[in-house]
Amino acid sequence: MADYYDLLGVTRDADSDTLKRAYRRMARQYHPDINKDPGAEERFKEIGRAYEVLGDPQKRARYDQFGEAGLGGAGMPDMGDMGGFADLFETFFSGFGGSGSGPAGARSQRRGPQQGDDLRYDLTIEFKQAVFGQEREIKIPHLETCDNCGGSGAKAGSGPSTCSTCAGAGQVRRATRTPFGSFTQVAECPACSGSGQVISDPCGSCGGQGVRQVRKKLRINIPAGVDTGTRLRVSGEGNAGMRGGPSGDLYVFLKVKNHPKLKRDGLTIHTEINVSYLQAILGDTIQVETVDGPTTLEIPIGTQPNSILTLENKGIPKLGNPVARGNQSILVNVNLPKRFTDEERVLLEKLAAHYSAKGPQNHHHNSGLFSRLFGKNG
């Protein structure tokens, strides 16, 4: 199915009145009694489904967060109100026999305050932001208590009234005759959904829900040393609670982009450098890239190919203790020339003769560094 907002022709920050007007307009346009085009009836059903979701603040919040997957499959029960296995057991067996600790006890909990849902937000950050930390601004869609009604769901100047169907109990009882005798089944009141109260004059801003969806700007602090998979908790920034319950929390899941040259392994940063054979033999001082910027590195005399050099305290800070940092490990690649001038060859021959007890006339360059220098281009 297409995006619900696109189906109604509205933006993602549309309020309830805008959604209602858009639904009525689109429903008239594609109503099967008016529009005889093929596919009009199916489009009409899709529009109805879109408004059913977006017109409900809680369903809309789940859709914005997870898409259609967050709404559950057709015909699937909403497990959110069923609690644990004990509640599921009571649903089947404790509906008979009247009051006590049966479903009356379990369902009556719904009449009290309910904590709001926790929300998830995925955030991608740069490599250096993960190393040093940063404050970031994000926008999240979540449910907030309606300002106009204060969460009651009733229009200003009015309020909820006692449900006449259940007399405020939130439950109805139904007597059932069976071959084993008469039983009384207790069920949630269908008129008030177990709350014991009904709203005859609902708030126009939230449609009687007591909450409405808003897009809120938040500034979150990303600590130094985080990595992909790190979860940050922002207390109280999830969905608003129902009937005066506390808000849920926001969980920010981080994903760190790869650096083109620096690789992370725990608290250690790995990188590679290329040096000439003369730098490896004679030693040198060069500049290398680190997360702190260009840093001086000493190439010791006689550095061997594939040597590992270390820059201390140039790695990743320890999460929760940024003063403690790992190191940067540098792999040294030694570049050997494939071609060189006659003058360079003469100088190298003299150098080889200096270190050869047999002299240059008997040095055949068959192994080691000189074999790699002269073997193919002699």
Q: Is residue 326 part of a domain?
A: yes
Structural domains counted in the chain: 4
Token representation of residue 264: 């992370």
Same domain, 232 and 120: yes
Q: CA 51, 52, 53: angle at the middle one, nearest 5?
A: 90
Q: Is residue 164 part of a domain?
A: no
pLDDT at 178: 66
Q: Report the distance separating Cα 275 and Cα 186, nearest Å.
A: 82
Own/partner contacts of 132-135, CB < 8 Å, gap of 24 or more, are 132/224, 132/291, 132/317, 133/221, 133/222, 133/223, 133/224, 133/225, 133/226, 133/322, 134/222, 135/219, 135/220, 135/221, 135/222
Q: How far is CA 226 from CA 20, 57, 61, 128, 134, in A?
A: 44, 34, 28, 10, 11
Domain ranges, residue 139: 115-149+207-257
H or E segment at 297? strand 295-299
| pLDDT by residue, tens only, the chain of 378 residues | 678 988 999 988 888 888 999 999 998 898 888 888 888 888 899 999 999 889 888 888 878 766 776 665 433 333 333 333 333 233 333 333 333 333 333 333 445 678 889 999 999 999 999 999 999 999 999 999 888 888 888 888 787 788 888 888 888 887 776 666 667 778 888 877 777 888 888 888 888 888 888 899 999 999 999 999 999 999 999 999 877 788 999 999 999 999 999 999 999 999 999 999 999 999 999 999 999 999 999 999 999 999 999 999 999 999 888 899 999 999 999 998 888 888 988 988 887 787 774 444 444 444 444 455 544 444
pLDDT at 78: 38
CATH number of domain containing 269:
2.60.260.20
Same domain, 252 and 124: yes
Q: Is residue 280 part of a domain?
A: yes
